[in-house]
């Protein structure tokens, strides 16, 4: 477990942005769905320390556990 990086994405759910049409959003959402055995798409996200974290930072170094968590402070 020492070598496992646990990274949690804390996300709040918001209604779809008015900038996109409903149809465009649906198509975008339906397009991609990850499966076991797929190469995980790289990402670049800001941490709670305002540092950029990329999945590729850990390639060849650590296994990564992503826990997607909606709404911090809710205990859910």
Partner 1 sequence: MDSPAANAAFAKQINIKFPLLSDMNRKMLTAYGIVKAHDVQGETYEWAQRANIVIDKNGVVQHIEEGDSAVNPNNALSVCTDLHKKQAAK
Half-sphere exposure of 38 (CA within 13 A, CB side): 8
> What is the closest distance, in whole angstroms, from the C-beta atom of residue 17 to partner 1 in the complex?
9
CB 61 within 8 A of CB 4: no
The distance from CA 46 to its chain's CA centroid, rounded to whole angstroms, is: 11
Q: Which two tokens stand for residue 1?
A: 């477990």
45: contact with partner 1 by CB under 8 A = yes
> What is the closest distance, in whole angstroms, from the C-beta atom of residue 35 to partner 1 in the complex?
7
18: contact with partner 1 by CB under 8 A = no
41: contact with partner 1 by CB under 8 A = yes
Binding residues (CB under 8 A) for partner 1: these are 1, 3-16, 22, 25-26, 28-43, 45-51, 53, 55-56, 58-73, 76
């Amino acid at each position: 477990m020492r070598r496992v990086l646990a990274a949690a994405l804390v996300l709040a759910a918001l209604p779809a942005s008015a900038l996109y049409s409903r149809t465009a959003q649906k198509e975008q959402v339906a397009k991609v769905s990850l499966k076991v055995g797929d190469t995980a798409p790289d990402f670049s996200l800001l941490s709670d320390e305002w540092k950029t974290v990329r999945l590729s930072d850990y390639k060849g170094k650590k296994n990564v556990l992503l826990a997607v968590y909606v709404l911090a402070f809710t205990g859910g």
